[in-house]
Structure 1
Amino acid sequence: MPKDRVIVYEEAGADPRADVMTIRNAGGRTRVRAVGAPAQMVELVTGLVAEGVDQVELCGGFGAVWHAEAGRAAGGGVPVGAVYFGFESLTGVASYKARFEAGEALTEAFVIVHEGADPATDRVVREKPDGGRTILVGVPDEAGAAGVAAAMAGELQLIELYGGSGPEGAEGVIKAVAAGVPVGVTAYRR
């Protein structure tokens, strides 16, 4: 059965009603939405569940407290996941956070596993006003995620993997970047 999934991240001045990226094919639909503030995410999740989405994934920047809020907003109606980082990525993600808070221009990639996606066409690059970029790229499977991550690793300070099978799917991406870029993977609230 095709999925109807939404990925949510935070971006200054974003309109949560607008799709930043959409991948739609026989495998279902994956949309990426941005919110201007974490509190907007809770309202967005409530609306998405009412709309009929069957899965929500949150950017790692929201953290566990907002992940819990989103789960409550979903009312148990759909799985709500959020990106978390394993021990091998903690030093890198701590460095990313400190550099982000210091105002440094950083580039991150959201690698989105969606059956049938084409990384050449299912790609959106968001230029940040103060420099850096957020790159959203769809890949057909986890092997494709590892290949895309390896090819982009030199320009990235962070990778978040969405739509994968958890640690097994992230393992190939982590090995592909040889621990040179922190890699987060979606975990679900039960």
Structure 2
Amino acid sequence: MSEDRVVIYEEVGADPLADVLVIENEHGRTRVRAVPEPGQLAGLVKRLADEGVDRFELCGGFGAVWHAEARRVLGESVPVGAIYYGFESLASVADYKARFEAGEVLAEAFLIVHPGADPASDRVVRHRDEGGRTTVLGVPDLAGAAAAAAAMAGELQLIEVYGGRRPDDAEPVIRAAVEAGVPVGMSAF
């Protein structure tokens, strides 16, 4: 049985019913969705779980409160992970948050680990009206995520890694990006 996973992040003006990116192959399906505000998260995860989604991962911008809300809505029926940052990224992620809240133009990447993903075609870049961008990039494995992080680190202020099974799965990405001052978050369930 293949996995049906959805990654959710927040983006002003987003349509929560539209897929930002879909990677689908013999290994399963991974979709990325955005909500315009966190209050829409609970309804979206409930609707998608009712449609058969069997795993969710939430952007680090939601934090523990919204992670708990999604888990409350779904109970123990569907795993819900969220991006958290290790000690090595705390100072730089705090700096990112302050710069974001001050309205600075920033760029981030969401690295979506999905076996068989092709980074050349499984890629979407979302440009914000006020400047900055979010790159959503499918990679086939953690080595591919580390290579992408190393290649992109100079132009990013934040990286989040989705698709790992444990927080320490992000270790190769952390090694590739944190030395360049880019915080790396990873999913924890």
The separation in 2 between residues aligned to 1:169 and 1:148, in whole angstroms, is 15
Give the C-alpha shift of residue 28 in structure 1.
Answer: 0.5
From the superposition, tell whether residues 62 and 178 of structure 1 become closer, same or farther in structure 2 (CA, over 3 Å): closer
2:12 aligns with 12
RMSD value, Cα:
0.8
Aligned-partner SS, 1:109:
strand
1:183 aligns with 184
1:25 aligns with 25
1:108 aligns with 108
1:95-174 aligned at under 5 Å gives the runs 95-174=95-174
Letter of the 2:20 counterpart? V
1:62 aligns with 62
Letter of the 1:169 counterpart? D
Give the C-alpha shift of residue 153 in structure 1.
Answer: 0.3
Give the C-alpha shift of residue 178 in structure 1.
Answer: 4.1
After superposition, the C-alpha distances for 1:119-170 in whole angstroms (9 at most, x for unaligned) are: 1110000001111100000000001100000000000000000001323321
Give the C-alpha shift of residue 118 in structure 1.
Answer: 0.6
The separation in 1 between residues aligned to 2:131 and 2:92, in whole angstroms, is 20
TM-score, scaled relative to structure 2: 0.97
Unaligned runs of 5+ in 2: none
The separation in 2 between residues aligned to 1:108 and 1:166, in whole angstroms, is 22
1:75-114 aligned at under 5 Å gives the runs 75-114=75-114
The number of residue pairs the alignment matches comes to: 188
Give yes or no for contact 2:45–2:70 (8 Å, CA) kept in 1: yes
Unaligned runs of 5+ in 1: none
% identity of equivalent residues = 68
TM-score, scaled relative to structure 1: 0.97
The separation in 2 between residues aligned to 1:121 and 1:100, in whole angstroms, is 29
Give the C-alpha shift of residue 42 in structure 1.
Answer: 0.8
Letter of the 2:37 counterpart? A
